[in-house]
Structure 1
Amino acid sequence: RGRFISFQVLEPSFHNNKIFVLLFSGGLSTLPPHSREYHIESRSWSAAQSYCRTYHTDLTSIRSKEEKSNITLTLNESGVEFVWIGLYRDPWAPWSDNTTSTFTNWLSGQPNNYFPPEDCVAFNLNTGKWCDSNCSTREIRGVTE
């Protein structure tokens, strides 16, 4: 499991929930779970992507059930409900780092573009599923990995 550094949870403001940004520091799936460090950041999806590309690698890509489980286990007791991931835009094929994957993990009925435009993806740690979300949401806390 990763270790938490400077972790704080602020009041929720998105659909009465919390959304966090999960940033990836490099190596993607080659990093062992125990080497990950998490930091809180506040960013919209595009600002999180820009920050991550400047200081790390990119927003995280989840390409397998194992990667999904590692993130869920690491953040299980953090109070985090949602994290941004690097998946964006319909048809939901390319990741932020321009790679593709056949693994998907959508919540039933998602993506639904309920509050258009919902071109980015949030990972709900409570359900373990993905949902589409508006990329410009700024009241977001993030986790830098």
Structure 2
Amino acid sequence: MTDGRFLTLLFINPANQHDKDILEENYRVIVKEFKNCVIIGDKGYIDKGLQNLFKLGGVQFIAIKRKNMIKSNEEGMIYSQLNKSRKIIETKFSEMIEAYPKHIRSVSKKGLSVKLSLFTIAYNIKKLEKDYYNK
């Protein structure tokens, strides 16, 4: 999860597990960390049940609708802005992935988690430093 500038929450799960399932499994953590916030998901997260679940926890979860699901011009403009925000976030993730080493060697899941956490902290510090000097 990201606030658009810094990575704030990281889950490490098997690659064959759908992101939506990861959200459901980590619901309590996400609601605790992002209460009164908005989470924007791509088209793969369209699920009224998931939206209602997060709404109960005080988090607004919005999945960007497919073009054929948008009913009005006003709704189209809203989803266009959400899509732009989502693309900015995706770009930040791509930048972060480029900053990570291509191969990470670890013996255990815990070791991998520690290394990813350290890389993430280093990435956030680098972004903070860049923002500071570009004022």
The structure with the larger Rg is 2
Pairwise TM-score range, normalised by the shorter structure:
under 0.3
Instruction: Report the structure, 1 or 2, having the larger strand content.
Output: 1
Instruction: Report the structure, 1 or 2, having the larger helix content.
Output: 2
> Relative contact order (C-alpha < 8 Å, sep 6+): which is higher?
1
